[in-house]
Amino acid sequence: MKSNIGVIGLSVMGMNLALNMADNGYKVSIFNRTTSVVDKVMEEHGHENFIPTHSLKEFVDSLEKPRRIFLMVKSGAPVDMLIEQLIPLVDKNDIIIDGGNSYFKDTIRRTKYLKEKEINFLGVGISGGEEGARFGPAIMPGGDKEAYSYLAEIFEKISAKAYGEACCKYLSTDGAGHYVKMVHNGIEYADMQLIAEAYTLLKRVAGFSNEELHNIFEEWNNSELESYLIEITSNILKVKEDNKYLLDIIMDKASQKGTGKWTNLEAIDLGVDISVITAALNGRFMSNLKDERIKGERIIEAKVSKLEDFNIGREEFVGLVKNALYVSKIVSYAQGFKLLSVAEKEYGWDFNFSEIAKIFRGGCIIRAKFLNDISDAFKEEEHIDNLMFTKFFANEINTRLTDLRELVSIAVQSGVAVSAMTSALEYIDTYRTSQSSANMIQAQRDYFGAHTFERTDKEGSYHFDWTASEKN
Ligand code: NDP
């Protein structure tokens, strides 16, 4: 009997996805470049639905047609190398699926290359880490729609479920799935940075203990902020080792694997402001300058205020932080979805934002209750310019914006850097300004470079001889 699907790459993600598929009743062929790993997996996690294979040919021959070959290997060159090895072994209309964190432009290139050989290629973003892979990840599939129809049932079965729906929906052609995953990761950076800023304000400005902070975050997890990241933050705050809070002895240097960087580079390429996500990335860069920050604290003196200087109680401060966090979170999602809407036009995709928000509701790191609100808002107002302009979110922002402004102002005067929250406030203020300062930029450009400008009082393009008066 042939297998329904095959998985190549049996590291953390591939092995757990294969087990997930096998648990769901599918016969799964498994293969790994280092073939001893296949035997190890069979020894340690052997599943009755696994068919172990020890060469690519044996692997390909073990699959029913059209073959479904799921690659879960290191992104980059390994994916291209595997594709080259598979081409002579597969038949027309077989489907190669790349479930790794591939760069979307590589996925576009691979799709085109394989299409010329009449082989289908799907680029699929998978989120949720080891646990998600094993018991239900969020799945973001892109590629040929007809080829996807051969995977829809398997993907929907193995994916996380949220509110009774599978966290998996076909997105659009070629690189769309990996693109959405990339933006998801950017939003994840922003979500984490905003929570870290809320924590640091409560700790450093208001002096809350870890136990109190644990309770605050636990309470927030029963509000509009309910989410996986708030939940784990609350849990982290109470963990002790040798009678010390573990969090307090963790070095304040944050690492990264690069997908947040991709999101930012892409936003610059397309000319989209994703300042909250950028602030989150910069926050990680700056965190790594630990030695320089220690020097900075000594060298650069700042006269800063204390919470007592603001005539605000501690409980009231908690309320400000909560509202500021929520509004900033809305802005980071608004920026992520704005990037998707520009990318949709740039790359010829056809996104359904309401459905994308639904995919994020389960399995992945950014899963949160308010994704239901995002999904509903986009469903109601599909072609809106920005998530912030939807009736629901405009109201959420309008009723809390003063709190964000007050909080950022307190943070600035207290000398506590909250770049992501500040960026969120500035994004809102920039968006709600009908008269920007760009008239001055245009005048300067025309002055030194004759770059011309448009006028508000008449149509057309103009150049002015700015130095004429100096010459006279
Ligand atoms: P790794 O990214 O560490 O990749 C290891 C696997 O890639 C091994 O099976 C390895 O085989 C295989 N591999 C490496 N080079 C080659 C090659 N040239 N030819 C064939 N196989 C090769 O594994 P993960 O499970 O962590 O991740 C897999 C993919 O999923 C990656 O793209 C990752 O970015 C993505 N991802 C990971 C998540 C996570 O939480 N870890 C979450 C979501 C996505 P060998 O044993 O022979 O070295």
Q: Domain residues of the chain, as ranges?
A: 5-170, 186-432, 444-471
- The two tokens of residue 273 are 């402001």
Q: What are phi and psi of 238, to 5 degrees?
A: -105, -5
**List 92, 115, 130, 181, catalytic entry:** 181
Task: Tell me what ipTM this predicted complex has.
Answer: 0.98
CA 121/CA 177 separation, integer angstroms: 12
Q: Check: CB of residue 387 under 8 Å from CB of residue 397.
A: no
Ligand 1 neighbours by CB, cut-off 6 Å: 9-14, 32-34, 37, 72-75, 78, 81-82, 100-101, 126-127, 129-130
The residues near 239 (Cβ < 8 Å, ≥ 6 apart) are 245, 246, 247
DSSP state at residue 201:
I
The residues near 123 (Cβ < 8 Å, ≥ 6 apart) are 98, 102, 104, 107, 110, 111, 141, 142, 143, 174, 175, 176, 177, 178
DSSP state at residue 360:
T
Using CB atoms within 10 Å of the CB of residue 255, give its burial: 0 to 12 exposed, 13 to 18 middle, 19+ buried: exposed
- The two tokens of residue 394 are 């405009």
Using CB atoms within 10 Å of the CB of residue 79, give its burial: 0 to 12 exposed, 13 to 18 middle, 19+ buried: buried
**Could you check whether the bond before residue 88 is cis, i.e. omega within 30 degrees of 0?**
no
AA letter at 21: M
CATH of domain 5-170: 3.40.50.720
- The two tokens of residue 385 are 């310019």
> Which residue among 10, 13, 140 has the greatest number of ligand 1 atoms within 8 angstroms of its CB, and so is best to mutate?
13
Distance of CA 250 to the CA centre of its chain: 24
382 catalytic per annotation? no
Span from the CA of 17 to the centroid of ligand 1 (angstroms): 12
DSSP state at residue 417:
-
Distance of CA 129 to the CA centre of its chain: 13
CA 48/CA 27 separation, integer angstroms: 8
CA 136/CA 209 separation, integer angstroms: 36
**List 27, 188, 197, 266, catalytic entry:** 188
- The two tokens of residue 213 are 């902070």
Span from the CA of 456 to the centroid of ligand 1 (angstroms): 56
The sign of the CA dihedral 373, 124, 77, 8 is positive
How many Cβ atoms from other residues are within 10 Å of residue 437's Cβ? Answer: 8
**Looking at residue 472, what is its pLDDT?**
65
- Tracing tokens 């057309």 back to the chain, one arrives at 460
Taking the CA of residue 75 as reference, the ligand 1 atom at the shortest distance is 32
Rama region for 367: left / alpha / beta (φ>0; ψ in -120 to 50; rest): beta
Q: Which CATH number fits domain 186-432: 1.10.1040.10, 1.20.120.160, 3.40.50.10860, 3.40.50.1460?
A: 1.10.1040.10
CA 57/CA 86 separation, integer angstroms: 8
Span from the CA of 10 to the centroid of ligand 1 (angstroms): 8
Q: Whose CA is nearest to atom 12 of ligand 1?
A: 73
How many Cβ atoms from other residues are within 10 Å of residue 250's Cβ? Answer: 9
The whole model's pTM is what? 0.96
Per residue in 376-398, pLDDT (tens digit) is: 999 999 889 999 999 999 999 99
CA 176/CA 75 separation, integer angstroms: 16
Per residue in 92-101, pLDDT (tens digit) is: 999 999 999 9
What averages of pLDDT result for each successive group of 10 residues across the chain (472 residues)? Answer: 97 97 98 97 94 98 98 97 98 97 97 98 95 96 97 98 97 98 97 98 96 98 97 98 96 89 96 98 97 96 89 95 98 98 98 98 95 98 95 98 98 96 98 96 97 98 91 68
Residue 350's SS3 state is: coil
Q: Which CATH architecture best describes the domain 444-471?
A: Up-down Bundle (1.20)
- HSE at residue 378, side-chain half, CA atoms within 13 A, is 20
